Chains A and B, each alone.
Chain A
Amino acid sequence: MKITGKVWKFGDDVDTDLIIPARYLNTSDPQELAQHCMEDADPAFAAKVSPSDIIVAGKYFGCGSSREHAPIAIKAAGVSCVIAKSFARIFYRNAFNMGLLILECEDTDKFQTGDKLTVDFDSGEIVHTGTKKLYQSRPIPPFMQELVQSGGLMEYIEKKVK
């Protein structure tokens, strides 16, 4: 699977309170959450982001709370994938479990807001469409690939139970 999208760049240690502040956790409605996605990092983000855009960040994206509202808000905002140097472990789990594509790549410093990237999820290759340079993301473990292919953990379980 391949996608092309515009980059929105964030820094290191983007926590779940920045992704979706706790004051909005009184709902789990994806569309409502999407309206406040990244609000405390960039209040205009939800208005600016367009479908298939890519969030790029430094190390330890999604640290903090276990709230699945964070990947839900990102996905519902139309973001096609998140590329970061590393992810916090619950965010990583949640993203795969609920079907948000995420990639770990050491070279995220090379990408800036407004850049266009083409991402190939099968090979893990990221191409900067401006410079035509190729970057490699860390391979996704086979079990996680199986989860993604099933459509998430619930679907995976339903398949197994049947």
Chain B
Amino acid sequence: MNGADTFTLAGRAFRSRLIIGTGKYASFAETRRAADAAGVEIVTVAVRRVNIVDPGKENLLDHLPLDRFTILPNTAGCYTVADAVRTCRLAREAGVGKLVKLEVIGDEKTLFPDVPATLEAAKILVDEGFDVLPYVTDDPVACKRLEDLGCAAVMPLAAPIGSGLGIRNPYNLRIIVEQSRVPVIVDAGVGTASHAAEALELGCDAVLMNTAIAGARDPIQMAEAMRLGVEAGRKAYLAGRIAPKLYATASSPLEGLIR
């Protein structure tokens, strides 16, 4: 019998190939139910100022205990190297580990990454001992540079953040999968379960999403659908699909036909 099918991120093996964001849910309780329905081991969170006037009774991490979930803080909203690095340092000091999702945004409208700034920030963070998971365009050269800098994974986008457009350039993703020796995690742009399946069918190691689940009419049901989509895509990848052909090949025997 084969061992468990896991992927290894910064020296740790994970069974679930789905990572979800925790933004845009109606409540912390719903966030937790979605994480459970999605079967995830890793969740992303954002780093923000505490509202000191009204700190609130509950905190997100009360619902996502560290013995159950690996917390992946992001640098969402950062447009400069300095802000992204500062955010990562704060996140690490808050005591959830040294894994960070690095995003340095280059454009407000598309939320596409500023790739040169992402490379610069990644270098600083890797040198400081962070396990860096960079959000990046689906550009094989940029992904290679990030891997060479020592990033723990590369996270090319499928489509713009929150767009739900699905995988816009499967050929680039295939090239990135073929060239990478670190995990490839599709991050952003997934809209529905078939998109998640496609990412895994292409050989990506995992997929990260937030809006596709949190924005669905029934987030808990969509979380489960995404879990199944990821599992289906992974199994299809391992099973080795048939080569596509233009013309038909009969499935039933040609011998013994009635005359």
The answer to whether A and B assemble together is no
